[in-house]
Amino acid sequence: MQATPTPLAGIGLKTVHVAQILRDGAAVDFFEVHAENYMVAGGPFLRHLEALRARWPLSIHGVGLSIGAPGPLDEAHLERLQALLERFEPQWFSEHLAWSIHGGRYLGDLLPLPYHRATLQRVCEHIDQVQTRLGRRLLLENPSRYVAFDASTMDEAAFLTEVQRRSGCGLLVDVNNAYVSAVNQGCDAWELLGALPPQAIGEVHLAGHRREVDSLGDPLLIDTHDCAVADPVWSLYRRLLARLGRPVPTLIERDAEVPPLQALEAEAARARRDLRHVAQPQVWPQPHPHPQVEVPA
């Protein structure tokens, strides 16, 4: 009989919290850091991360590989990434299904790509290169999207599923990204979350978003990571866990308007409670409602 995975809830490590965490500890199960913030030769960032790594597991999350870009991957970036992973031996490593480099220039954002045969082939080749070079499995994260491409011939679930099947990578499911994309494109987030291969899902991200309206007055959500996780995202998360039937390491993301550490610990504790429920399904309090598409006031 296979043991149920341990419920693990972590938070993104923020510089403003480091001294407090090293002094007093933190009520979380792991920390996640952005790889590009630690691709340096030395200094306090690396010393602090070494001290944290001695006490907690790490998840290293890349934001600069540009896996979906048409050109070749940046070999120098890969080399620095490999050195970082070998130094800190994180529990998980992830990147985005996105592109951010064109003509040798970094564009400063994670941009979506059309889902068709050519981009599928390119993404699979790049993931194969990354996994071969790093000698470890990559978790690929679904992006937040604000547009849909006429050139797409596959939906996002079919694209991610085929990438996973061909490359053998895992999936990082960002529930907030799925919700933001669904509202912005007038569809149901569960069409993505419920169609992904459950056995491939190795980590979950939860984050906050801002509610706006576009020039036509339609709902527009911005993936800002500057506020607490919204209720519809929590509902989708619980529904995803119920489908998986097992706890999956879950991260609370906050990259702007960073609150006191205790606020992030509280959100991680909420995620851990849901993870424990799925580890012990008899204690699920009640069926969770189907999340409704959020309409700005």
Q: What is the pLDDT averaged over residues 74-100?
A: 95
Q: 1-15, 16-30, 77-91, 220-234 — which is least confidently predicted?
A: 1-15
pLDDT tens digit sequence for 189-215 = 999 999 999 999 999 999 999 999 988
pLDDT of 285 above 60: no
User: How far is the CA of 55 from the CAs of 12, 29, 49, 125, 205, in angstroms?
Assistant: 15, 10, 10, 36, 22
Q: Can you tell me which residue has the tokens 């090293």? A: 22
pLDDT tens digit sequence for 114-133 = 999 999 999 999 999 999 99
Q: State how beta strands 201-206 and 250-252 pair.
A: parallel
pLDDT at 1 (0 to 100)? 55
Confidence of residue 281 (pLDDT cuts 50, 70, 90): low
Counting every residue, how long is the chain? 297
Q: Which residue has the higher pLDDT, 99 or 236?
A: 236
User: How far is the CA of 24 from the CAs of 21, 49, 52, 160, in angstroms?
Assistant: 5, 15, 12, 40
Contacts of 274 (CB under 8 A, 6+ apart): 234, 237, 238, 241
pLDDT of 11 above 90: yes
Decide if 96 contacts 143 (C-beta within 8 A). yes
Q: 4-8, 12-16, 182-186 — which is least confidently predicted?
A: 4-8
Confidence of residue 291 (pLDDT cuts 50, 70, 90): very low
What region, left, alpha or beta, does residue 156 occupy, with left being phi > 0 and alpha being psi -120 to 50 degrees?
Answer: alpha
Confidence of residue 187 (pLDDT cuts 50, 70, 90): very high
Confidence of residue 104 (pLDDT cuts 50, 70, 90): confident
CB atoms within 10 A of CB 194: 14
Contacts of 113 (CB under 8 A, 6+ apart): 68, 97, 98, 99, 119, 123, 149
Q: What is the pLDDT averaged over residues 234-259?
A: 97
pLDDT at 297 (0 to 100)? 32
Joined tokens for residue 165 = 């099947």
pLDDT at 282 (0 to 100)? 55
Mean pLDDT value across the chain: 92
pLDDT of 70 above 70: yes
pLDDT at 203 (0 to 100)? 98
pLDDT of 292 above 60: no
Per DSSP, the residues of 144-205 read P-S---TT--S-HHHHHHHHHHHH--EEEEEHHHHHHHHHHTTS-THHHHTTS-GGGEEEEE
User: How far is the CA of 73 from the CAs of 96, 101, 173, 270, in angstroms?
Assistant: 14, 9, 23, 38
